[in-house]
Amino acid sequence: MCIFCAAIPVAAATGVSLDSKQRRRWPARGQVAPRLRPILLLTGLVLLFLMAGSVIFHTYYPRLW
């Protein structure tokens, strides 16, 4: 498995875990959680770049050797 394909589920699980931890902290502080969730936004961007990198790598892989 290439590094891009292995990193996609790891990045998704890490992003969801960090977002859930952050969402649990808001009510404990007595605050309302914001509608915009920056961790999920960053996770989505990271996943988009990893998928694009995977497609590029697997498209050009035979030509790299």
Instruction: List pLDDT tens digits, range 36-49.
Output: 789 999 999 999 99
pTM over 0.75: yes
Distance CA 63, CA 65 (A): 6
Domain housing 55 = 3-64
Distance CA 35, CA 65 (A): 47
Residue pointed to by tokens 């892989």: 61
Q: What's the structural domain count of the chain?
A: 1
pLDDT digits (tens, 9 = 90+) for 6-61: 999 999 999 999 999 988 887 777 777 777 789 999 999 999 999 999 998 888 87
Q: Which residue intervals of 1-65 are DSSP H helices? A: 3-29, 38-64
